[in-house]
Amino acid sequence: MTEKILKTKKVVAGEKGHYFEAVGRRKTAIARVRLFDRKGGVLVNDKDYQKYFPIARLQYVVQSPLEKTKLTGKVEVVAKVLGGGMSSQAEAVRHGLSRALVIFDASSKAILKSSGYLKRDPRMVERKKYGLKKARRAPQWAKR
């Protein structure tokens, strides 16, 4: 019987200090999130998350795991994200941040799991089929 190996459980002592690392995914976006045990903000691709995600809804998506666990301002988050669009990147950061928070503090798992932040959203874009305009949209049909 094969055991599932969790690649997200990473605790590293790097040159910038001790951090917890996890990977988050959504559609084609992949986020590598590092959680430092020191006061700081949230950086996404070397920018403040409020500048990287200018829409308030996306900012809320990114910071919601910190608000649920009451760690806003108590930890520093550094995320590198690539692929996908703005919305899927924000949700990938949320997924990775939630996974890193569980490694950081195991008691927060119940809160994050009940909010649905630990589940990888499996929805993807359906491929286009031949003979159709889009995935399911058929060409317009005229009787006469």
Q: Is the pLDDT of residue 13 over 70?
A: no
Q: What is the pLDDT of residue 74?
A: 92
pTM, two decimal places: 0.86
Which are the contacts of 64, defined by CB distance < 8 A and separation ≥ 6? 94, 115, 117
d(Cα 88, Cα 68) in Å, to the nearest integer?
A: 20
Provide the domain count of the chain.
1
d(Cα 1, Cα 76) in Å, to the nearest integer?
A: 39
Q: With 0-12 CB in 10 A as exposed, 13-18 as middle and 19+ as buried, what is 137?
A: exposed
Average pLDDT, integer, range 124-130: 96
Residue 69: which CATH number? 3.30.230.10
Q: Please report which confidence band the pLDDT of residue 22 belongs to, taking 50, 70 and 90 as the band edges.
A: very high
**What confidence tens digit (pLDDT) does each residue in 48-95 have?**
999 999 999 999 999 999 999 999 989 999 999 999 999 999 999 999
Residue 41 belongs to what domain range? 10-115
